[in-house]
Amino acid sequence: MKIYELIYGVALYLNNIDIAQDVYIHISNQISGWDTKIFNYWYGDKDTTLSKLLEFESNKRRIVKNVDLNAFDSRVIKLPTYKFLEHHETNR
């Protein structure tokens, strides 16, 4: 599930709500397959988790703010940098 959360965050950072919505559907399907007690132990209430993921705009602002804050951290500045590139499929 962590990989879906990462992809969701990247999609929001890139302002690609369509991908974020698709990932939300995948996450929702994954969550529905979890045992409720185990999910509650690790993540909290299933419905609350899913409703928070639907808050695309506030999640995007939070992610962008965190990226901006971390960009000036002296430990982070020393790390190699990468840029996210959007992939556009062409008609084949």
CA 23 from chain centre, in angstroms, equals 8
Cα–Cα distance measured from residue 62 to residue 18, given in angstroms and rounded to the nearest whole number = 19
What are the residue boundaries of the structural domains of the chain, listed by start? 2-77
Q: What is the pLDDT of residues 15-55, one digit of tens each?
A: 888 998 999 999 999 999 999 999 999 989 999 988 988 89
User: 60-76: buried (b, 16+ CB within 10 Å) or exposed (e) per residue?
Assistant: beebeeeeeeeeeeeee
Is 50 in contact with 31 (CB distance < 8 Å)?
yes
- Percent of the chain residues topping a pLDDT of 90: 42
Q: In the prediction, which pLDDT does 25 show?
A: 93
| Structure confidence at residue 92 as a pLDDT band (50, 70, 90) | very low
Plot region of 22 (φ>0 → left; ψ -120 to 50 → alpha; else → beta):
alpha
Say if pTM beats, i.e. exceeds, 0.85. Answer: no
